[in-house]
Amino acid sequence: MSIVRRYLGTPTQTLYQFYSEALAAESLLEEGTVVTISDSLKKFEDLVLEAPEYGRLHCGVAQCYMALAQRGAPSSKEFVLRAGEACKRALAIDSDAIDAHSTLGCILAQEWKWEAAEESFRKALSFGDQHAAHRQFGQFLLIHSRFDESWKHLQIAEGMDPFSARQKSSMARFFYYSRWHREAKDYYDRVMQYGPLPIEATLIRAFTEIQMGELKNAVALAQGLRRRVGTVQLYLATIAEIFALSNEVDQARSLTASAGLLAEQASLSYFRKACLALALNEPARSIEFLRESFKRKEAELPWIAADPRFDRIRDDATYLSIVRAVL
């Protein structure tokens, strides 16, 4: 709590009682998989019922909803709305909370309120340094291809918490979007000392390997993960993408069909379906999925301008109109 952080007050009994449980919930969120984020959300929501006056718990709820919205959830707009409600409660309890203002910045970005989002991130960091706030601001800047600024904040976050799974995923995304291949190689050579890469970071790393022409490495990474992800369609769709982009098209189409990844009832955002369709060399279908993603105002859509997966349709009129409308 900010009043404790500034030595203007002492922790309340509620904080002492629920602090360790809040850390346990945050640990699940930190793992960053669809399953652990859902478990974290359940834990945070149960804790909120017991300690509604503890702002950190409300912020945890907001962060969980945002994390799910960014991981291919079909109902991402609803998740963003719920995140906004929880974040407002957190700020009402502690108006100077760094993590609450940073989370609000993420929410505003999903609502395409870019100036307000940046202001919220800067306000968060005006209260002090926090690795999550720097990481989230770095991701915001990455959406706008402000690579040098993004790198600065991600480096600060890296120095504060190199073991963070979410930080590793953010770094992987940065290297893929920025195409800083030399820096990517250096990073992956040394990051293993902080533990194995999480699933999301490994998938993004595979895309970077494809960028660098190392198709066998990309396929090996995808095949290694396929044995770990079970039937989670989010991960299967990305693995299918990697196969397709690595010239393993038959394997990609087989996985897409067997898992029903492009079916209407698939539990995937239209943004993710657009990425997969494009990898499978179906640009017209990809554009249709992007139209639906825009109609639903999906949480992942702001990545559209910076994401290298859309390089081949950069000149398409529909694609350009969506980019202009979002950014």
On average, the pLDDT of the chain sits at 93
Q: What is the pLDDT of residues 210-238, one digit of tens each?
A: 999 999 999 999 999 998 899 999 999 99
- Contact yes or no for 271/307 (Cβ under 8 A): no
Q: State the alpha helices, DSSP H only, in 180-248.
A: 181-191, 199-211, 215-226, 233-245
- Mind listing the pLDDT tens digit for each residue in 15-25? 777 889 999 99
Q: Of the candidates 81, 111, 128, which is a domain's last residue?
A: 128
Q: Per the domain annotation, does 278 fall within a domain?
A: yes
Does residue 187 sit within a domain?
A: no
In a domain, 313, yes or no: yes
- Is pLDDT above 60 for 98? yes
- Residue that the structure tokens 């494809």 belong to: 210
Q: Is residue 93 part of a domain?
A: yes
Is residue 310 in a domain? yes
Q: Please, which pLDDT band fits residue 316 given cuts at 50, 70 and 90?
A: very high
Distance in angstroms (rounded) separating the CA atoms of residues 72 and 300: 7
Domain at 96, CATH number = 1.25.40.10
Domains in the chain, number = 2
Residue 102: both structure tokens together: 């940073």
Instruction: Supply the pLDDT for residue 246.
Output: 97
List phi, psi (to 5°) of 229: -95, -5
In a domain, 261, yes or no: no
pLDDT of 4 above 70 = no
Residue 172 falls inside a structural domain: no
Decide which of 128, 156, 174 is a domain's last residue: 128
Q: What is the pLDDT of residue 82?
A: 97
Token pair of 128 as six digits: 């002090």
pLDDT in tens, 33-58: 989 999 999 999 999 999 999 999 99
What pLDDT sits at residue 7?
Answer: 52
Question: What region does 242 belong to: left with phi over 0, alpha with psi -120 to 50, or beta?
Answer: alpha
214 falls within a domain: no
Domain end among 95, 128, 161: 128
Torsion on CA atoms 164, 166, 172, 175, rounded to nearest 10:
-90
Mean pLDDT of 129-151: 96
Neighbours of 187 (CB within 10 A): 17
pLDDT at 252 exceeding the cut of 90: yes
Q: What is the pTM for the complete model shown? A: 0.91
Q: Which domain holds residue 18?
A: 13-128
Asked whether 34 and 234 are in contact (CB, 8 A), the reply is yes
